[in-house]
């Protein structure tokens, strides 16, 4: 598995960048278009690098100052069916499926901590779906609400900020998480209050036995265990680009359903359901953050060994 680098390189750095990349252990398809870059003025350099070596290469490019004076774009090709690609994959330490490109992870977390309109809308719609799931006692709607909810990336950003010592990222993500849930709960509470006043929803609908959705406001030790497992799986999927595993993470934790149940309980005034929902929401977020921190720390420690192996490989060049 290769990763494509597209670099806009100022003229004074071009020789150093090319020297870094021209060894066959480091890259394939090295292309230099002299004078092709206008901003910054310099060269356009492109190459393919084994995924396991990308972190090391990016660190060296940043040490040259390219991230400050030039441009670095990282993309992943859909296929690389040529002999040099197979050579890079054989010689690179570790396995591409386990490789982590930390710069991409951090960038993704910064994106997940931006307070966009779409984020708030998705979370509000997910919370509304969860509230309807409570009224109808529908486990299918609960799953739908979990999948629609966009909050996991923000939770992962909190953990990433803690592990990488970026308090700004942690604060941004935490602020977004609190604010977005507050807005979603407020909107759904208002709607449920209107529905309660018109007789569409009653307190009895919320407090009656609900075999399919009662777990939403009954947190126990297993709620925390599930949050830990889901958080670990989610962070692992995020760092190793396993997007297909994220759906399973979304439907394993009950953050959004708890928010929907809380909003409905506020609108119909069911204090016991409020307390349980708040506890469930807190247990899930805390469990995911803790698991995320642990997984990220372990990945950094384990991948550091791979980077040391790649440094030995570079020393041969």
Average pLDDT over residues 284-305: 89
The contacts of residue 95 (CB under 8 Å, 6+ apart) are 52
pLDDT tens per residue across span 59-99? 889 999 999 999 999 998 888 888 888 888 787 777 777 77
Beta strands in the chain (DSSP E): 2-10, 28-38, 41-50, 71-75
* 314 pLDDT above the threshold of 60: no
* 179 pLDDT above the threshold of 90: yes
Indicate if the alpha-carbon torsion angle 233, 48, 19, 69 is positive or negative. Answer: negative
Tell me how far CA of residue 212 lies from CA of 47, 128, 172, 315, in angstroms: 53, 17, 35, 60
Contact present, 96 and 52 (Cβ < 8 Å):
yes
pLDDT at 204: 86
pLDDT tens per residue across span 189-241? 999 999 988 888 888 888 888 888 878 888 888 889 989 998 898 898 888 87
Average pLDDT over residues 143-163: 92
Backbone torsions φ then ψ of 49, nearest 5 degrees:
-130, 140
Average model confidence (pLDDT) across the chain: 87
Res. 163 pLDDT band, cuts 50 70 90: very high
The contacts of residue 219 (CB under 8 Å, 6+ apart) are 276, 279, 280, 283
pLDDT at 132: 93
236 alpha-carbon distance from chain centroid: 9
Share of the chain above pLDDT 70, in %: 92
Average pLDDT over residues 305-311: 65
Average pLDDT over residues 183-188: 96
Two structure tokens written together for 143:
């799953």
pLDDT at 281: 92
Backbone torsions φ then ψ of 30, nearest 5 degrees:
-70, 125
pLDDT at 248: 64
Q: Which 3 state secondary structure label does DSSP give 114?
A: coil
């Amino acid at each position: 598995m290769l990763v494509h680098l597209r670099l806009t390189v100022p003229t004074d750095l071009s020789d150093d960048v090319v020297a870094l990349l021209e060894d066959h252990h480091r890259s394939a398809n090295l292309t230099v278009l002299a004078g092709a870059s206008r901003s910054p003025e310099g060269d356009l350099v492109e190459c393919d690098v084994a995924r396991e070596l990308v972190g090391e290469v990016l660190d060296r490019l940043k040490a040259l100052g390219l991230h400050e004076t030039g441009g670095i774009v990282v993309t992943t090709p859909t296929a690389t069916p040529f002999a040099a690609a197979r050579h890079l994959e054989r010689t690179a330490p570790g396995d591409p499926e386990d490789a982590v490109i930390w710069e991409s992870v951090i960038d993704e977390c910064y994106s997940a901590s931006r307070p966009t309109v779409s984020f708030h809308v998705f979370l509000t719609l997910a919370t509304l779906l969860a509230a309807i799931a409570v009224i109808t006692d529908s486990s299918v709607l609960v799953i739908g609400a979990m999948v629609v909810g966009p909050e996991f990336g923000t939770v992962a950003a909190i953990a990433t900020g803690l592990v990488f010592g970026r308090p700004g990222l942690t604060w941004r993500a935490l602020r977004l998480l609190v604010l977005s849930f507050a807005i979603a709960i407020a909107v759904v509470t208002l709607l449920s209050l209107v529905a309660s006043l018109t007789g569409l929803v009653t307190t009895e609908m919320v407090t009656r036995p609900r075999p399919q959705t009662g777990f939403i406001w009954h947190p126990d030790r297993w709620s925390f265990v599930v949050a830990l497992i889901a958080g670990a799986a989610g962070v692992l999927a995020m760092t190793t680009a396993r997007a297909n595993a994220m759906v399973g993470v979304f439907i394993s934790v009950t953050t959004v359903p708890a928010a929907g149940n809380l909003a409905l309980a506020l609108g119909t005034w069911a204090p016991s359901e409020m307390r349980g929902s708040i506890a469930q929401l807190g247990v899930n977020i805390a469990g995911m953050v803790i698991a995320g921190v642990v997984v990220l720390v372990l990945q950094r420690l384990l991948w550091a060994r791979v980077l040391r192996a790649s440094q030995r490989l570079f020393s041969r060049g």
